[in-house]
Amino acid sequence: MVEARTRDLLRGAALFTACFLAILFLRILPLNAAFIGWPGPDLGLCLTFAWVLRRPDLLPAPMIGLLFLLEDIMLYRPIGLWAAFVLAGSEAARLREARWREQPFMIEWLRVALLIGAMVLGYRVVQILFLLPVPALGQVILQYIATVASYPVVVWAARWLIGLRRVTQTEVEMMRYR
Protein backbone atom coordinates (compact mmCIF):
# COMPACT_ATOMS: atom_id res chain seq x y z
CA MET A 1 0.00 0.00 0.00
CA VAL A 2 1.28 3.44 -0.89
CA GLU A 3 1.50 5.72 2.10
CA ALA A 4 -0.58 8.90 2.17
CA ARG A 5 2.30 11.35 1.63
CA THR A 6 3.56 9.52 -1.48
CA ARG A 7 0.02 9.16 -2.82
CA ASP A 8 -0.63 12.89 -2.38
CA LEU A 9 2.67 13.74 -4.07
CA LEU A 10 1.90 11.48 -7.04
CA ARG A 11 -1.64 12.82 -7.33
CA GLY A 12 -0.49 16.46 -7.16
CA ALA A 13 2.31 15.90 -9.67
CA ALA A 14 -0.03 14.09 -12.05
CA LEU A 15 -2.64 16.85 -11.80
CA PHE A 16 -0.02 19.55 -12.41
CA THR A 17 1.37 17.61 -15.37
CA ALA A 18 -2.09 17.22 -16.90
CA CYS A 19 -2.85 20.94 -16.48
CA PHE A 20 0.55 21.97 -17.85
CA LEU A 21 0.28 19.67 -20.88
CA ALA A 22 -3.23 20.97 -21.61
CA ILE A 23 -1.90 24.54 -21.53
CA LEU A 24 1.03 23.56 -23.76
CA PHE A 25 -1.33 21.82 -26.19
CA LEU A 26 -3.51 24.92 -26.43
CA ARG A 27 -0.41 27.07 -26.87
CA ILE A 28 0.86 25.16 -29.91
CA LEU A 29 -2.51 24.99 -31.65
CA PRO A 30 -2.68 27.22 -34.74
CA LEU A 31 -5.81 28.99 -33.56
CA ASN A 32 -5.30 32.22 -35.48
CA ALA A 33 -2.53 31.62 -37.98
CA ALA A 34 -3.24 34.68 -40.14
CA PHE A 35 -3.08 37.24 -37.32
CA ILE A 36 0.24 37.94 -35.64
CA GLY A 37 -0.52 40.36 -32.86
CA TRP A 38 0.09 40.56 -29.18
CA PRO A 39 1.82 37.59 -27.59
CA GLY A 40 -0.25 35.65 -25.12
CA PRO A 41 0.63 35.09 -21.48
CA ASP A 42 2.78 32.21 -20.30
CA LEU A 43 0.05 30.38 -18.42
CA GLY A 44 2.32 27.44 -17.64
CA LEU A 45 4.64 29.76 -15.75
CA CYS A 46 1.72 31.30 -13.87
CA LEU A 47 0.43 27.84 -12.97
CA THR A 48 3.88 26.80 -11.76
CA PHE A 49 4.20 29.78 -9.43
CA ALA A 50 0.64 29.39 -8.20
CA TRP A 51 1.29 25.72 -7.43
CA VAL A 52 4.67 26.27 -5.79
CA LEU A 53 3.32 29.05 -3.58
CA ARG A 54 0.23 27.11 -2.55
CA ARG A 55 1.30 23.47 -2.36
CA PRO A 56 5.10 23.29 -2.55
CA ASP A 57 5.04 19.76 -1.16
CA LEU A 58 3.08 18.43 -4.17
CA LEU A 59 5.35 19.63 -6.98
CA PRO A 60 8.90 18.26 -7.15
CA ALA A 61 11.60 20.35 -8.81
CA PRO A 62 12.57 17.69 -11.40
CA MET A 63 8.96 17.70 -12.64
CA ILE A 64 9.15 21.45 -13.26
CA GLY A 65 12.46 21.10 -15.07
CA LEU A 66 11.26 18.25 -17.29
CA LEU A 67 7.99 19.92 -18.25
CA PHE A 68 9.65 23.21 -19.15
CA LEU A 69 12.36 21.31 -21.03
CA LEU A 70 9.57 19.69 -23.04
CA GLU A 71 8.09 23.15 -23.62
CA ASP A 72 11.48 24.42 -24.84
CA ILE A 73 11.62 21.58 -27.35
CA MET A 74 8.03 22.03 -28.52
CA LEU A 75 8.34 25.82 -28.93
CA TYR A 76 11.77 25.72 -30.60
CA ARG A 77 13.53 27.70 -27.92
CA PRO A 78 17.15 27.13 -26.84
CA ILE A 79 16.88 23.74 -25.15
CA GLY A 80 17.04 23.95 -21.39
CA LEU A 81 17.71 27.68 -21.08
CA TRP A 82 14.21 28.83 -20.13
CA ALA A 83 13.73 25.61 -18.15
CA ALA A 84 16.79 26.48 -16.05
CA PHE A 85 15.50 30.00 -15.38
CA VAL A 86 12.03 28.72 -14.45
CA LEU A 87 13.51 26.07 -12.18
CA ALA A 88 15.72 28.64 -10.44
CA GLY A 89 12.81 31.08 -10.08
CA SER A 90 10.37 28.48 -8.80
CA GLU A 91 12.88 27.18 -6.28
CA ALA A 92 13.54 30.73 -5.09
CA ALA A 93 9.79 31.12 -4.57
CA ARG A 94 9.57 27.71 -2.86
CA LEU A 95 12.28 28.71 -0.37
CA ARG A 96 10.34 31.85 0.52
CA GLU A 97 6.88 30.27 0.57
CA ALA A 98 6.77 29.92 4.35
CA ARG A 99 7.48 33.65 4.80
CA TRP A 100 5.02 34.63 2.04
CA ARG A 101 2.21 32.37 3.30
CA GLU A 102 0.52 34.93 5.57
CA GLN A 103 0.96 37.90 3.22
CA PRO A 104 -2.00 39.32 1.27
CA PHE A 105 -2.42 38.32 -2.37
CA MET A 106 -1.36 41.73 -3.71
CA ILE A 107 2.07 41.32 -2.10
CA GLU A 108 2.37 37.83 -3.57
CA TRP A 109 1.40 39.15 -7.00
CA LEU A 110 4.02 41.91 -6.78
CA ARG A 111 6.72 39.45 -5.72
CA VAL A 112 5.84 37.01 -8.49
CA ALA A 113 5.88 39.88 -11.00
CA LEU A 114 9.35 40.92 -9.86
CA LEU A 115 10.57 37.33 -9.98
CA ILE A 116 9.20 36.80 -13.49
CA GLY A 117 10.75 40.11 -14.56
CA ALA A 118 14.14 39.02 -13.24
CA MET A 119 13.80 35.69 -15.05
CA VAL A 120 12.87 37.35 -18.35
CA LEU A 121 15.73 39.83 -18.03
CA GLY A 122 18.24 37.10 -17.21
CA TYR A 123 17.01 34.96 -20.10
CA ARG A 124 17.38 37.88 -22.49
CA VAL A 125 20.87 38.74 -21.24
CA VAL A 126 22.04 35.14 -21.72
CA GLN A 127 20.55 35.11 -25.23
CA ILE A 128 22.43 38.29 -26.09
CA LEU A 129 25.71 37.12 -24.52
CA PHE A 130 25.71 33.84 -26.43
CA LEU A 131 24.53 35.43 -29.70
CA LEU A 132 21.28 33.48 -29.77
CA PRO A 133 18.28 34.77 -31.70
CA VAL A 134 16.60 37.40 -29.54
CA PRO A 135 12.91 38.23 -29.95
CA ALA A 136 11.88 41.87 -30.29
CA LEU A 137 11.95 43.74 -27.00
CA GLY A 138 8.41 45.04 -27.49
CA GLN A 139 7.06 41.51 -27.86
CA VAL A 140 8.91 40.37 -24.74
CA ILE A 141 7.55 43.28 -22.71
CA LEU A 142 4.01 42.63 -23.94
CA GLN A 143 4.28 38.94 -23.02
CA TYR A 144 5.63 39.89 -19.58
CA ILE A 145 2.71 42.27 -19.00
CA ALA A 146 0.21 39.65 -20.20
CA THR A 147 1.76 36.98 -17.96
CA VAL A 148 1.74 39.19 -14.86
CA ALA A 149 -1.82 40.33 -15.60
CA SER A 150 -3.04 36.74 -16.01
CA TYR A 151 -1.49 35.48 -12.75
CA PRO A 152 -4.56 36.35 -10.59
CA VAL A 153 -6.85 34.67 -13.11
CA VAL A 154 -4.73 31.50 -13.05
CA VAL A 155 -4.68 31.51 -9.24
CA TRP A 156 -8.45 31.97 -9.15
CA ALA A 157 -9.01 29.20 -11.72
CA ALA A 158 -6.67 26.83 -9.89
CA ARG A 159 -8.51 27.54 -6.66
CA TRP A 160 -12.02 26.99 -8.00
CA LEU A 161 -11.47 24.38 -10.70
CA ILE A 162 -8.93 22.04 -9.12
CA GLY A 163 -9.07 23.09 -5.45
CA LEU A 164 -5.53 24.44 -5.18
CA ARG A 165 -5.33 26.51 -2.01
CA ARG A 166 -2.66 27.73 0.37
CA VAL A 167 -1.38 25.41 3.04
CA THR A 168 -2.21 26.62 6.53
CA GLN A 169 0.30 26.53 9.37
CA THR A 170 -1.69 23.73 11.00
CA GLU A 171 -1.44 21.61 7.85
CA VAL A 172 2.31 22.23 7.71
CA GLU A 173 2.66 20.96 11.28
CA MET A 174 0.55 17.90 10.47
CA MET A 175 2.70 17.15 7.39
CA ARG A 176 5.83 17.12 9.53
CA TYR A 177 4.46 14.32 11.68
CA ARG A 178 3.31 12.05 8.85
SS3 of 39-56: CCCCHHHHHHHHHHHHCH
Could you give the number of structural domains in the chain? 1
Q: What is the pLDDT of residues 46-80, one digit of tens each?
A: 999 999 999 888 889 999 999 999 999 999 999 99
What percent of the chain has pLDDT above 70? 89
What pLDDT sits at residue 156?
94
Domain that holds residue 45: 4-176
As a whole number of angstroms, the distance between CA 100 and CA 107 comes to 8
What predicted TM-score, i.e. pTM, was given to this entire model?
0.89
What pLDDT sits at residue 100?
81
